A and B are shown apart, each in its own frame.
Chain A
Amino acid sequence: GIQVEQSPPDLILQEGANSTLRCNFSDSVNNLQWFHQNPWGQLINLFYIPSGTKQNGRLSATTVATERYSLLYISSSQTTDSGVYFCAAVHSGAGSYQLTFGKGTKLSVIP
């Protein structure tokens, strides 16, 4: 199956700083999503981005499918951005609908 690797595993930021989270995947994908897991455990959809670039407020994401990576940018970070960010992908060759998740990046934004 496909492997999804995220980096860094942990990130501590001062409030107001910018950050880039990276997701590498081992094969071609039909679906790539970024999620934020809140303190209560719910996965919040940030982006559906199998290719290209999208922006939503202070967050943006870019996926370069040919080079098998995706980046999530967080600008002017706030304490409410803290939590775990997951990248997940569906392998295009598998005929499966299953999302394979990375291990996540744990972000801590300190005031």
Chain B
Amino acid sequence: DVKVTQSSRYLVKRTGEKVFLECVQDMDHENMFWYRQDPGLGLRLIYFSYDVKMKEKGDIPEGYSVSREKKERFSLILESASTNQTSMYLCASSFIGQTTEQYFGPGTRLTVT
């Protein structure tokens, strides 16, 4: 069974704090993704990574950075959290290529006050 885990289910942070969201997968997947989900806007890709230390911007990278030092772990970093980053964050992983199935973690509901 594919397993994608995220470090927190719920997180509350203050404006200006540095926030780390972590994602770990146990299937030796090359690709890892960070999406955010907002009412009315749906799911949108923030960043993805196709290998260790490799990253590509998605549709909405502004205000975020990522880190992938190990194959199984992909971190999303909010350098200085703002209230408009309050959202549901979903991590996913898949084998290399366009035709491979993506599997999602349970999500982290982040509130920035």
Interface on A for B, CB 8 Å cutoff? 30-31, 33, 35, 40-43, 45, 48, 50, 86, 88, 90, 92, 95-99, 101-104
User: Which of B16-24, B61-69, B75-83, B95-103 lies at the binding interface?
Assistant: B95-103
- Chain B: which residue is nearest A40 at the CB level? B106
Instruction: Give every chain B residue within 8 A of A42 (Cβ-Cβ).
Output: 104-107
Interface on B for A, CB 8 Å cutoff? 9, 31, 33, 37, 42-43, 45, 48, 50, 58-59, 88, 90, 92, 94, 97-107, 109
- Docked Cα-Cα span, A86 to B97, in Å, equals 21
Instruction: Give every chain A residue within 8 A of B102 (Cβ-Cβ).
Output: 31, 33, 88, 99
Instruction: Give every chain B residue within 8 A of A98 (Cβ-Cβ).
Output: 33, 45, 48, 58-59
The prevalent SS among residues of B at the interface is strand
A86-B43, A103-B42 as given contacts; A41 in contact with B88, CB under 8 Å: yes
- Chain A: which residue is nearest B43 at the CB level? A101
Instruction: Give every chain B residue within 8 A of A35 (Cβ-Cβ).
Output: 104
- Docked Cα-Cα span, A78 to B11, in Å, equals 33
- Docked Cα-Cα span, A41 to B10, in Å, equals 11
- Chain A: which residue is nearest B89 at the CB level? A41
Number of interchain pairs (Cβ within 8 Å): 61
Chain B nearest CB from A42 CB (Å) reads 5
Instruction: Give every chain B residue within 8 A of A97 (Cβ-Cβ).
Output: 31, 33, 48, 50, 94, 97-98
**Contact between A31 and B42, CB atoms less than 8 A apart:** no
**Contact between B99 and A104, CB atoms less than 8 A apart:** no
**Contact between A45 and B103, CB atoms less than 8 A apart:** yes
A97-B50, A98-B48 as given contacts; A41 in contact with B98, CB under 8 Å: no
- The 8 Å CB contact of B99, one of A30, A40, A41, is A30
- Chain A: which residue is nearest B30 at the CB level? A97
Instruction: Give every chain A residue within 8 A of B9 (Cβ-Cβ).
Output: 40
Instruction: Give every chain A residue within 8 A of B103 (Cβ-Cβ).
Output: 45
- Docked Cα-Cα span, A103 to B40, in Å, equals 8
Chain A nearest CB from B65 CB (Å) reads 18
- Chain B: which residue is nearest A50 at the CB level? B99
